[in-house]
Structure 1
Amino acid sequence: MLILQDQLDQITTNTRELVQPERLETSDRAIAELFATGIEDQILPVGAKAPEFSLPDISGRLVRSSDLLSLGPLIVNFFRGRWCAYCITELEAWREMYATVRERSALVIGVAPQLVRQNDFTAGQHSLPFPLLSDKGCSVAEQFGLVYTVPEYYRQYMRSVLVNVPFVNGDESWRLPLPATYLIAQDSTVLFAEAHADFRVRPEPGEVLAALPR
């Protein structure tokens, strides 16, 4: 089985070979500053009750967390957008684990601030078998304690590498979620919660599944 973090580390290695050091320093600075805010310590923790939410899927149909939880435990993967290679690699890892997730009577969804049509592109391009929901303005991610605003200097960097967050998200807020994975029990109790200020680090799907009730 491929280790997700190994794949992510390879993206980082490739990036460091291709990108100028001063550009890398900009990205490293943004990660360090976000980590220093203590945001990782403020996320909705294990043992808390997850908020109910209702978000549109790629067809525009509203999907309610309560309806999903009536079917089984729910894995929620908050991701930044289709422009993030790390996020796509993580979503593809969940695609490969999807049969195992269903065998365990659980469900998985992806949640991002990007527009419905961007989620549609993402699902189609990467053959994702699970719902992608559009969290415009990061309203649900905020309830999980995951939201931050991209600083101006990093906005300039992102534009320079052709990442147009306002276009993808349909607003000018530059609000993004920390990449995060939650496992929510059917009674809405959080069984697993992990989020990182360093977008290059993600939990292994196997770790999440290990927290499912037997």
Structure 2
Amino acid sequence: MATNIPSGSLASIVASTIPTDIPLQEQIDTFVARGAKYVPEEMARQVDSHIEHLAASGVAESALKEDEQAPDFTLPDALGQAMTLSQLLTQGPVVIIFYRGEWCPYCNLELRAYQKALPQLQELGATLVAISPQTPDHSLSTQEKHELAFVVLSDRGNRVARAYGLAFALDEAGKALHAQIGADLPVYNGDNSWELPVPGTFLIDQSRTVRLASVDSNFFHRLDPSAVIARLKELK
């Protein structure tokens, strides 16, 4: 059964006790197991229902696929500086992580794992960027809180997430669930759309071809950095 715990200090405390030297999915599974005792049974059912609804919507299946051309984009980083995909690609391949926001403990574990893998990614010539619909202020909070040394971009309105086939709008039940766990999306994202991206990871080569795409409507599932590193080595 899927479970969740409210975001905030409790989630941070639980996450901070999870070793960083185990695979990312094992970290997330450990977090879920440890957090289960804090989750009311009704909330757990609501999370299960939300994930089932996302799976049935087909949003993951509509996302950008391997061998397709990645849409170019320009987005502001946490300090408001514009970053353009095609410009980043002049330096080498680009790894893009679409994450939900700083309120999401699974996203935070994912970002932590990719930060740890950053030296290996850079050795293979790749640039790592993370994208969420949060405002730049919340992106900056994410970057500072987790001491991220890679670019964190603000996709206000999920414009880029939509171009990559990841954006979806929460229904009323989804809005209530996220409000219950402290994810006030209008505050975090700066609009009233209640839209999020399905978490996704893409490896894009210098021709803007997607060489690796991992998208899952179950937000407990994330791609381990080792898979990206392995594919990068194949590109050499």
Shorter-chain TM-score tier: over 0.9
Kindly state the Cα deviation for residue 205 of structure 1 after the two structures are TM-superposed. 0.6
What corresponds to 2:217 in structure 1?
197
What corresponds to 2:169 in structure 1?
149
Query: What stretches of structure 1 move > 2 A for 4+ residues in a row?
Result: none
Q: Which residue of 10, 18, 24 maps to 2:44?
A: 24
What corresponds to 1:210 in structure 2?
230
- Counterpart amino acid of residue 111 in structure 2: L
User: In structure 1, how many angstroms separate the alpha carbons of the residues matched to 2:205 and 2:178?
Assistant: 37
What corresponds to 1:35 in structure 2?
55
CA-to-aligned-CA distance 1:104-139 (integer Å, 9 cap, x gap): 011100000000000001100100000000000100
What corresponds to 1:102 in structure 2?
122
Structure 1: stretches of 5+ with no match in the other structure:
none
User: In structure 2, how many angstroms separate the alpha carbons of the residues matched to 1:139 and 1:162?
Assistant: 24
Kindly state the Cα deviation for residue 14 of structure 1 after the two structures are TM-superposed. 2.2
> Pairwise mapping of residues 117-156 of structure 1 onto structure 2 (< 5 A)?
117-156=137-176
User: In structure 1, how many angstroms separate the alpha carbons of the residues matched to 2:178 and 2:196?
Assistant: 13
What corresponds to 2:10 in structure 1?
none
Q: Which residue of 83, 91, 102 maps to 2:103?
A: 83
TM-score in terms of structure 2 length: 0.89
Q: Which residue of 41, 60, 67 maps to 2:80?
A: 60
3-state SS in 2 of match to 1:208: helix
Kindly state the Cα deviation for residue 154 of structure 1 after the two structures are TM-superposed. 1.9
Kindly state the Cα deviation for residue 15 of structure 1 after the two structures are TM-superposed. 2.7
User: In structure 2, how many angstroms separate the alpha carbons of the residues matched to 1:161 and 1:78?
Assistant: 21
User: In structure 2, how many angstroms separate the alpha carbons of the residues matched to 1:77 and 1:129?
Assistant: 14
- Counterpart amino acid of residue 206 in structure 2: Q
Q: Which residue of 170, 185, 194 maps to 1:165?
A: 185
- Counterpart amino acid of residue 119 in structure 1: S
What corresponds to 1:71 in structure 2?
91
- Counterpart amino acid of residue 73 in structure 1: P
Kindly state the Cα deviation for residue 41 of structure 1 after the two structures are TM-superposed. 1.3
User: In structure 2, how many angstroms separate the alpha carbons of the residues matched to 1:78 and 1:160?
Assistant: 23
User: In structure 2, how many angstroms separate the alpha carbons of the residues matched to 1:15 and 1:157?
Assistant: 17
TM-score in terms of structure 1 length: 0.98
CA contact (8 A) 2:78 2:153 kept: yes
CA-to-aligned-CA distance 1:37-78 (integer Å, 9 cap, x gap): 122211110000001000000110100101100001000000
- RMSD, aligned α-carbons: 0.8
User: In structure 2, how many angstroms separate the alpha carbons of the residues matched to 1:150 and 1:46?
Assistant: 27
What corresponds to 1:178 in structure 2?
198
Paired residues in the alignment total 214
